[in-house]
Amino acid sequence: MEQTKYLIAGCSHAALSALNSIRMLDQDGSLTLVTKDDHLPYSPTVLPYIVSGQSKPEKVKLRDDEFFAQNKVNFISGAGLSTLDVDNNSVTLQNGQEWQYEKLLLATGAAPAIPPIPGLTDTPYHVLRTMDDAVNLHAALESAKSAVVLGGGLIGMHAAENLIKVGVQVTIVEMRPQVLPGYFDAEAAKIIEQTFIENGVAMRIGNTVVGAAPDGEGAKVSLDSGDEITADLLLVCTGVAPVISYLEDGPVETDQGILVNDCMATNIANIWAAGDVAQAVNFYSGEKSVGGILPAAVEQGRIAGMSMINDPAINPYPGGVPLNTYGFFGNQAISVGVSDENALPKDTEVLLNVNEEEMTYQKILIGEGCLLGISGINTDFDPGIMWQLVLQRVDLEPVKEEFLSNPTDTGRDLMSRTWR
C-alpha cells in the first residue's frame, strides 16, 4: 500500500485551492492528487468555450506537469476514488492502487443529474461536465444543424449561446417559469431570455419534457404542451449532483452532498470535503446546502487546506452566497447574494433601476442596513467588493444614499478604507 501525507481526490478549483493552502505551510509533506479524468486540471466552467471552439483543450489547463514537479505533487490522472476505508485511513483507486493517507480531501465535484424522462436512456444525448464531453460535443457540431438544450441554467444557457454562434439552430427548454433562477429575478431573466430570442434561440420557458426518443441520428423530445421538437443534438443540462457513490454505506455523513462543518471537516477524523461535492452552510439560511459555484469552491478549498495543515490564520467558512457572473451576447449579468426579495422579510428595501431601451437593469436589496444582494445587467459594480460587503455585514446606513446611486465608487471607497 502506498503512503501519502495529503491525499486530494479531485483536481479542479476546490482541490487546487486546498493544495495552494497546504503548500503555503508545508512545502515538503507528500501530497497526492488523484482524478478520474485523463486530463491535466481544467475547470468545468470553461467547457462551453471548448464546445464553441473559442478555446482549445490544451489552452485551458489550470496547472501543468512543471507546476506539479515544482510543488512536489504526485499527480495521478485517470483514476478516481473507488472505495474508502476510514478505519485504515486508506482508499482504493479505480486503477486498483491502494493509498493510505494522513489527511484526505474529497473534492470529487459533481456530475450531471439526468432527469427521469421516459425514453431518455434510449436516446442519444450529450452532457457537458468533463473535457471529454466538451470535445465530443464540439466534434458533433460538425454535422449538426439543430440542437435542443434541456435546462436554462448557467451551463445550458452558455452552451446554447455558443452553439448558435457556430450556426446551430438552438431550442432551450426550461421547466421552471424563468431562466437562471436563484441568481436573477423574473424581470432580469426576462431581459436575458429576450436577448436569446433576438439572437435566434427558440425559448420554451415553463415547458416540461414528457418524453424523448431517437430520431434518425438525432433526437425527438415531446413537451407537456403537446409540441414535439426534433434536433440533430440533444444536450441535457438539467443540473448536477455531487459525486459521492464511493461513500455508499460508509460512515461519512452525506445528505445531498457530503456534510461539512465550517472548517470543511466531515464527521470522520482526517477527512475533509470541499467544492461541488460538499454540503456546507448557507450564509443566509444557516442551513446546509449544496452550492456548485466556482468562487465557493475556491473558498471552501482554501479553508479545507488551511484546516488540514492546522494553519493558525484560518477563519471559519462564513457560508455560501449565490454568486454569478454571466456574459451573454456581449452583455454582462452579475449577481451577488439574494436577487429575489420575495424570499426576504417584508421590510427589505428594494432599489430597482431598469432601462429597457439601454438594456440595463440593477437591483439592490438592503435589510437592517446591510447589503443582502445586488444584481445587474450591463451595470457597473465590483462583485468581489459586494461579496465582502455582504459577508462582513458592513453597515451601509451612513452611506446609503451614495451607495444606491453609485455602488461602484462607494464600494471601492468602503473597501479601500477597510483594507488600507
Partner 1 sequence: MGHSHNTIAFHQDKCDGCGECMTVCAGAKSGTADTLHSRLKIVPSIAANDSFELALCRQCGDPKCVLNCPSGSLTKNHKTGVVPWDAEKCVDCLLCTVGCAYGGITYNAAAGHVMKCDMCDGDPACVKSCPTGALEYNRSAEIYNNYGELEDLFVPGLAACQGCNSELLIRHTMRKIGSNAVVATPPGCIAGMGTVGFNGKTGSKIPVFHPLLTNTASMLAGAKRYYNRIGRDVTMVALAGDGGTVDAGFQSLSGAAERGEQMLYICVDNEGYMNTGMQRSGSTSFGSWTSTTPVGETLHGKTQDAKNMPVIMMMHNCEYVATASLAFMDDYYEKLDKALAAAKRGMAYLHVYSPCPTGWRIPSESTNEVCRKAVETNFVTLWEFAPDEGLRFTHSTDDPLPVEEYLNLSGKYRHLDDAQLTHIENSVERKVAFLNGFMLATSDDGAESLAQ
* Interacting residues with partner 1 (CB under 8 A): 13, 16-17, 20, 24, 42-46, 49, 54-55, 59-62, 294-295, 298, 301-302, 323, 325, 327, 330, 332, 334, 336, 378, 380, 382-385, 387-388, 398-399, 402, 408-413, 415-417, 419-420
**Cβ nearer to partner 1, comparing 15 with 86:** 15
**Cβ nearer to partner 1, comparing 54 with 256:** 54
Residues constituting the chain: 420
Write down the least CB distance from residue 415 to partner 1, Å. Answer: 6
Write down the least CB distance from residue 288 to partner 1, Å. Answer: 22
Write down the least CB distance from residue 298 to partner 1, Å. Answer: 5
Write down the least CB distance from residue 144 to partner 1, Å. Answer: 22
Write down the least CB distance from residue 23 to partner 1, Å. Answer: 10
**Cβ nearer to partner 1, comparing 3 with 325:** 325
**Cβ nearer to partner 1, comparing 206 with 384:** 384
Write down the least CB distance from residue 190 to partner 1, Å. Answer: 22
DSSP 326: E
Query: Strand, helix or coil at 412?
Result: helix
**Cβ nearer to partner 1, comparing 3 with 332:** 332
Integer Cα distance of 194 and 378 in angstroms: 15
Write down the least CB distance from residue 150 to partner 1, Å. Answer: 23
Integer Cα distance of 159 and 152 in angstroms: 10
**Nearest-CA neighbor of 4 among 108, 94, 89, 84?**
89
Sign of CA dihedral 92, 133, 172, 338: positive
All residues at 6 or more sequence positions from 339 whose CB lies less than 8 Å from its CB, including other chains: 182, 183, 184, 185, 188, 322, 363, 365, 373, 375
Helix axes 383-391, 407-419, angle to 10 degrees: 60
Q: Strand runs (DSSP E) across 165-287, as ranges?
A: 169-174, 202-205, 209-215, 218-223, 228-231, 233-236, 240-242, 258-259, 271-273, 278-281
**Cβ nearer to partner 1, comparing 277 with 334:** 334
- Residue type (1 letter), 119: G
**Cβ nearer to partner 1, comparing 109 with 218:** 109
